[in-house]
Each structure stands twice: as C-alpha cells, then as structure tokens.
Structure 1
Amino acid sequence: MALLAYRDKHILSAQQLRKLSEHKYSCFSASLLDPLLQPWWNWLVSQTPLWLAPNLITIVGLILNVVTTLILICYSPNGVEAPPRWTCLLCALGLFIYQSLDSIDGKQARRTNTSSPLGELFDHGCDSISTVFVALSACISCQLGHYPNWLFFQCFCAIALFYCAHWQTYVSGTMRFGRIDVTEAQFSIIAIHLVSAALGPEIWLTKIPIVGLSWNYTILVFITFGYTLNIINFLKMFTEGGSGKNGSSVAVSIASTSRNNEAKNNYETCMKT
C-alpha cells in the first residue's frame, strides 16, 4: 500500500506529461567566447558517431571532471598543501573536455533528433554536480585553503549562481547567458590550473608589490565583485523579468491558463447537460 501511495504521489499525471512534452528549450547568449568556440564545437560534434547518445556524452564529461578533481583533492584535501603540478594540468584538461562535451550534447541531440525535456533536465542535473567540483578544484589549485571561510564562500556562491540562473529561467522562460558567464568562468578556471601547473600552486601565495595582497586574495576580491553584479541582475530579473501576466513567472502563467481552460471546459460541460 505504501508503495502504491508513493507511486501515485510521484508519478506525473497525464496533464503534467502533456505539459512536459510541450516544453521547448529557450536560450539567449551574449557570451564573448561562445561565438569564437562554435567552429570547434561544430567540428567536434561532426566527428561524433550518430549512435552515441547525447546523455552518454554528458555523463562522460561529468565523470572526467569529477575524477580529475578527486585526484587533486587526494593530494591537497584541505587546500593548504600544494598539490603536484601534474594534478593541476590534469584538472585543466578534464575541465576543457567536460566543457567541450557539455557544449555538444545538445547539438548531438538535435543532430540525431533525440531532443527532449528530460534530456535537458539530465544535462542540467549533471551541470549542477559539476559546478561543485569545478569551484572546489579552482579553490584548491590557487591555494584558498589558507582562507577556509573564503573557500566555503566561493563554493557557496558558485552553487547559488547556478540555482539563480535556473530560477530566472523559471521566471522568464529563457535561459540567459551574459557577456561574461559560464564559458568565460570555465576558461578562467582552466587558466588558473595552467598557471598552477606551469609555475606551481605556491605562486598564488606571493604578494603583489603595489597592492600588498597575495594573488589568490586579489582574485577573490574580483570574483566576489562579479558575484555581486550577477546577483543584482538576477534580483532584477526575479522582480521584473516575468513574461507571464503582470510580470508573473512563466510557470504561474501556464498554471493560470490551465486553470482557465479547465474552468471553461467544466462550464461548457455543465451547459451541455
């Protein structure tokens, strides 16, 4: 009985399944790097076998990113000990591969005519896991373990921004990427890993003569400033960016339309009887 009750509670209704099938992914990007990387992504997806499922591409990229980060964590579990340079290089390579595969899974889905809302959900679910590992690897690579509170704050902000990006999609109906967004952040982290691999992670602890702060602390200031600007933009979108009636979210608008249609159908049924 308990199993049946759980099933009835969690399985989507016919109306919910219909709404899910009607969902169309909408995206707007003003990214600086995306147009420059499109030729690489297009070439890469053209070399991908048609039998390769888009979800498999997504999960392979995620596994590589997670494994390379775990190797880095094994050598510097608290972010204080300097990890071997090759682990930073490995993280840079893992993140680049993940970024490339994450950019072509949607292209592969359209190429093979297998796009679906559940595929989009799977992709974004993998991205949510990857966000944690990408932020953590960057913090370890630039020795943020010396500032544990800042390390936690940076990881928290990365997760919060990911959540806010999907919240604004819920409100506006469109996934929006700014001029400096996910792709730029990922390549900045790749650059951090490459610097650590070339010069050693200890380089981030050296002081900048004019400023008097270490390189990693200076980076923290700039990143926090960027987080603040993004949060302000998100708050504006949450309050003013709804595409539904009176600025409501898309979900509220759809629910309202569904209720109105249901009331109309009930009225017409009553009139017929």
Structure 2
Amino acid sequence: MPKSRYFAPTGGLPAQTDLLTDRAVFTNAYAVIPKGTMRDIVTSFLPFWDATRVWVIARPLSGFAETFSHYIMEVSTGGGSDKPELDPSAEGVLFVVEGQINLCFEGADHALQEGGYAYLPPGSKWTVKNNEQSPARFHWIRKTYETVEGIEAPSFFVTSDQDVLPTAMPGTEGKWATTRFVDPADMRHDMHVTIVTFEPGAVIPFAETHVMEHGLYVLEGKAVYRLNQDWVEVEAGDYMWLRAFCPQACYAGGPGKFRYLLYKDVNRHMNLSLR
C-alpha cells in the first residue's frame, strides 16, 4: 500500500534503552503533544465502536480545551460503528489521514480516502465502516453546536483536501495559504476546520493574539512555532493546543511544505456566563 502523505500514529512502545527526554509541554496557555507520546498505553475505546481504538488529544477541561474535543481514530479491518455519536447536540468533522472509510449518512454511502473530509451536522444519523484490508486512521473533531434563532444548522457535505484550492494569504505570494472547506462568511458554521500550508521558509510574520481557541495537528513537514514566549520545534504527527489569546507565530523549516489541520471557534457571540 502506498505511504500516506499525512502522518498518522501507529502506537507501539519505545525500546527500554531509549532516553526519557521528549518535547511534551503542558502550560496554562498552550500544550504540545509530540507524536512520540501517542503510544498503545494512551489509547482508549469508545462505546458502540468495534475493532477501533482512539487517541484523545484534546477535550473540554478547565485549563485546557474549552470548546471542542479532538480524536485520532484507528479502525481495523471490519471495524467501525453503527452508533458513533451519542450526543445529539454535537457537530463533527472527519478527516482521513490513512486508508479508507465508508461513511453512510442518512442512508447514502460515501467512500472517504486519504484527504477525505466530511462535515456532520448535529443530530444527524451516520455510520462508519472500514471494509478495506488495512487499518484506517482519521481525525474526528467534535463541538457542541451553538444554535442561533433565525440561522439554520449547516448541511452535511463531503469533499477532500485534493478538491479544494488553497486561498493564499494577502501579500505572501502563495507561500502561506489556507484550504477552507467552508465559506468563512457562512454564519451557519460556528467552527472552522481548515488546512494551513506554508512553503519552506515561509512565516507568520507577527505574534497572532486573538480570541479563537486552536487545535493544530501537523500533517506534513516541520517548523519552529512561537507559543506564548517560547519557541518550540514541531514536526509531522505533533499536536498543539492554544488557549484563546495565546500569542503564536511560526517559521516553516523545510525542505518540504509545512501543513497542519487547524480547528478554531468562530461566528458566535462570547458566552457571558461563567463555565
């Protein structure tokens, strides 16, 4: 089977002779979960999922992610679920990084291969199966949908990384671009899950400081990321969580493109009640 362009964890354990030192960081402003920490012993299982294990890399927690959860799912041959989502208020995004899954939404089948993307509205009926001869690995990002009177919930859709033309950031000559799977002006959506791409040597040339919470999974390449007051090296397979207002910037290290799957909360008033 051809190697995927995207990094996906496979578990296992390091040798007893390996050094303990790693790049994992957890602060009150950001966290870095390196790919080397995604081992067998930190996987879990989910109700009504067969032949499936999951790495939970973000979840609502005081001092950590507040608006979303982020899973990496590994579904073995014949595995999947006829009852995957138990929360009727949860919307979701699936992004396949290895193998292929069969997504059945409201009775219609969709084959999602590497780079495949699906948006799942709250309260919808869907199932996932792996009918192939190799494991499938995909990201599943979940958020409680924030309803607004007079605005309907978003509709289900499927697309892929390969089918969406990236939008270049102004003034960057295409060196920094974002693959936007939904229109940013579509007020039905209260979260965006996009792919950000930097050419080798490209930069975020200022310390972004904003209200949007972020989850970033590095799909390809490497970079040096500025998180709060620290410069942190990251590479394909690493995950970063950034609290609202955490300053952020980066330099793409090369030799290839630096790409990450990005979550952010958007298009809603700020909740004024204490959590």
TM-score by length of 1: 0.23
Larger Rg computed on CA atoms:
1
Higher relative contact order (CA 8 A, sep 6+): 1
* Bigger helix fraction: 1
* Bigger strand fraction: 2
